[in-house]
Amino acid sequence: MAAALDKTSFDGLRVAAFESRRAEEMERMIAKRGGVPSVSPSMREVPLERNQAAIDFANRLVTGGIDVIVFLTGVGTRILVQQVERYVDRGRFLAAVSDIKSVVRGPKPLAVLREFGITPTLTVPEPNTWRELLATLDEKLPVANLVVGLQEYGVTNPSLIAGLEARGATVDAVHVYDWALPTDCGPLEQNVRRIAAGEIDVALFTSANQVLNLLKLADDLGLADELRSRFRTVVVASIGPTTSEMLRNHDLPVDLEPSHPKMGHLVQETAERAGEVLARKRRLAQQLFNVNLPSTLRSPPSALRDSPFLRACCREPTDYTPIWLMRQAGRYMPEYRRIRDEHSFLELCRNPQLCSEVMCTAVDRLGVDAAIVFSDLLPILEPMGMELEFAHGEGPLIHNPVRESADVDRIVELESVDALHFVMEAVRQTRADLPKDVPLIGFAGAPFTLASYAIEGGASRNYLHTKTLMYRDRGAWDALMARLARAVIVYVNAQIAAGAQAVQLFDSWVGCLGPDDYREYVLPFVRQIIAGITPGVPVISFATGNPQLIPLLAEGGAAVVGVDWRVRLADAWQMIGHDRAIQGNLDPTALLADVAEIRRRAADILAQAAGRTGHIFNLGHGVLPQTPVDNARALVDLVHELSARPKK
């Protein structure tokens, strides 16, 4: 019994909460779960005085001018009735509501309508956000050519209104109350000061507007920066998607959401996990924010600094040409397939121990000269507001793609890597598990490829939506690319701080552009990224699909340019200049040939390099799933053998 109680205990953690109407209940719940509560009411609903708009709305309703009515909040439903009953007969108004289709967003407006003797037509399922509301209408009550009356929150929800209008509805919105700070701001001010001083371990948010009022008061007190910084080391729990969206829109982390958007679930499930999440966040914050450079960069061990890979990045002489393979830990390896039989791809990416295991296994089996952290290009988009899914047989899908200029505004600025802690922990774990003389490469998608995924929503052959936005709305395009560029800088620098010795930027889709478009729409942002990466760390810029872009990759400022198999290595090196290192460029399908053919092709590429310093052997893209492991190992051995230089 004790063990069961401990599992759901805050175990003495200091818990701030911002609930207003149920503040006393929240305080009891936290204390019951072993927390030290600090509950400060953060908001109040202020009904509008003599709300003529509500009276006019009621008259349109009773005279048949509204076809469907949507109630978003319980308190708003009650206030609406109170505001109109002195001017429109209450019974007549409620009868009119009963006579038309009615929709409630969740249990609170449902309870109020039942008090009035009304059973709504539809109740929106959990988590009761505007997205579920629209989905419910799509499924059960199409609103095309209907007038939809909308009882609003304390603030207008433009996404909901736009969604209704996009479905052909005419929206008749009624605003009945505003949100304001509590009459007594003393307890809320005390919580702001406690968070800023590092005296709070857990923060519980039960509504989106609590976020706004907390930040407003912090700004008034001159503590906004301290508050934001401290949230890196505070467990932030949100009651549901709408509140989480508000937190992310204001660049605050969301660590936990309960299985059901209810206060009891929020407290219980946060108590279960708060200790673990808090330890992880504080460990990560110490790694990333209290250290300027990792020890491997401040005073690099000679085994790493003198590794063939890092020496080649710096165009220094090596005893042989170093080699590593993109996707060297992948489906062609039986060890990897066994792990994937038990874990989805996203589960694997979020498990640092398994990420390290699959990469270290590949390094050991192949004998390569560098490792790359096992992850994917796209997880960086999730904390920026993209709804990412790796669908079986379809690859990555973005369920809320960016298609219009207005959509760019909902892309959240990535100011910290709290939500990507699993990548940083994978870097740290892999670095610890690798042989001491094998460098570790961090990586990120380059901004064009990330933007294309965000805009297309998945794979594309013609990049129609991406190019349409790029050509039609330069302001929106530049805003999106700049936001992605800043995110990549934060992301790769965090990987460096966690233990990566080099980074690679993957621009897998940029080959759809010609040189002029690349120079105008992409190059400035690549330059911004490379200039923002930790000084002294080699950057590899890799793109595929169009050899005409190779000189522009060099202009971006990378130490190493990665090229695919569509160009001869000698020609590519001539394009970028021999004062820059190059990586590549065997066609991945060559590994399906016999060893004699692999040897011939590897020898040809090495001959094109002509023994110059600064060549890193790689494939022109990732290892194919059909590749025999022995062939991949043979390539590594052949490159080492054929490029061996006499020791002086």
Q: Specify the pLDDT at position 292.
A: 38
Q: What are the tokens at 563?
A: 């090229």
CA proximity to 372, closest of 386, 359, 390, 358:
359
Catalytic option among 193, 194, 280, 340: 340
For the purposes of burial, counting CB atoms within 10 Å of the CB of 431, is it exposed (0-12), middle (13-18) or buried (19 or more)? buried
Q: Which of 453, 491, 518, 521 is catalytic?
A: 453
**Token pair listed for 127:** 């988590």
Between the CA of residue 602 and those of 308, 584, 639, 644, 645, what are the distances in Å? 18, 10, 7, 13, 16
Confidence of residue 165 (pLDDT cuts 50, 70, 90): very high
Question: Is the pLDDT score of 348 beyond 70?
Answer: yes
Three-class SS of residue 498? helix
Q: What is the distance between the alpha carbons of residues 492 and 477, in angstroms, rounded to a whole number? A: 22
| Three-class SS state of 109 | helix
Indicate the residue type of 132: E
Query: What local confidence, expressed as pLDDT, does residue 131 receive?
Result: 82
Residue among 373, 476, 380 at smallest CA distance from 434: 373
Asked about 594 being catalytic, the answer comes back as no
Lowest mean pLDDT segment, chosen from 459-468, 582-591, 595-604:
459-468
| Predicted confidence (pLDDT) at residue 636 exceeds the cutoff of 90 | yes
Q: How large is the average pLDDT for residues 311-340?
A: 96
Percent of all residues in the chain with a pLDDT value above 90, rounded to a whole number: 79
CA pair distance 402, 454, nearest whole angstrom: 6
**Of residues 101, 93, 123, 538, the one with CA closest to residue 315:** 538
Using CA atoms, how far apart are residues 148 and 102, in angstroms rounded to an integer?
A: 10
3-class SS string, 526-537? HHHHHHHCCCCC
490 near 281, Cβ under 8 Å?
Answer: no
Beta bridge partners of 69: 102, 149
Which residues are bridge partners to 171 per DSSP?
Answer: 148
Whether the per-residue pLDDT at 1 is higher than 50: the answer is no
Which tokens sit at 539? Answer: 């950057």
Half-sphere exposure of 433 (CA within 13 A, CB side): 22
DSSP 137-169: HHHH---TT-EEEEE--SS--HHHHHHHHHTTP
Q: Are 77 and 110 in contact (CB under 8 A)?
A: no
Q: What is the spatial distance between Cα 169 and Cα 151, in angstroms, rounded to a whole number?
A: 15
Weakest mean pLDDT among 43-57, 106-120, 137-151, 399-413? 399-413
> Residue 185: how many CB atoms within 10 A of its CB?
17
- Report domain extents, the chain: 2-43+181-289, 46-176, 296-643
Structural domain 46-176, CATH architecture: 3-Layer(aba) Sandwich (3.40)
Q: How many residues does the chain have?
A: 648
Rounded to whole angstroms, the Cα distance separating 465 from 468 reads 5
SS3 label, residue 238: strand
Phi and psi at residue 182, to the nearest 5°? -65, 155
Instruction: Report whether pLDDT(294) > 90.
Output: no
What's at 618, amino acid-wise? Answer: N
d(CA 443, CA 14): 37
- Is residue 28 flagged as an active site residue? no
Q: Given a cut of 60, is residue 218 above it in pLDDT?
A: yes
Note the pLDDT of residue 3. Answer: 39
Percent of the chain with pLDDT over 70: 95
Most confident region among 218-232, 460-474, 580-594 by mean pLDDT? 580-594
266, pLDDT greater than 70:
yes
Kindly report the CATH number that applies to the domain delimited by 296-643.
3.20.20.210
Tokens 């209907």 belong to residue: 146
d(CA 325, CA 310): 15
Closest CA to 545 of 476, 460, 634, 616: 460
List pLDDT tens digits, range 496-548. Answer: 999 999 999 999 999 999 999 999 999 999 999 999 999 999 999 999 999 99
What does pLDDT average to over the chain? 92
What's the confidence (pLDDT) of residue 33?
Answer: 96
417 contact partners, CB below 8 Å, separation of at least 6: 284, 288, 423, 424, 490, 491, 494
The angle that helices 74-84 and 90-99 make with each other, rounded to 10 degrees, is: 130
376 among known catalytic residues: yes
Same CATH fold, 46-176 and 2-43+181-289? yes
**What is the rounded CA–CA span in Å between residue 73 and residue 291?**
47
Matching residue, tokens 């000061």: 193
Q: How far is CA 565 from CA 21, 343, 494, 504, in A?
A: 65, 33, 31, 18
What is the Rg, in whole angstroms, of the alpha carbon atoms belonging to the chain? 29
Catalytic residue among 22, 60, 194, 331: 331
Distances (CA, A) of 571 to 508, 609, 621: 21, 10, 18
- Report the topology of domain 2-43+181-289: Rossmann fold (3.40.50)
Confidence of residue 485 (pLDDT cuts 50, 70, 90): very high
Give the residue with greater pLDDT, 641 vs 244.
641
Catalytically annotated residue among 228, 315, 327, 483: 327
- H or E, element range at 577: none
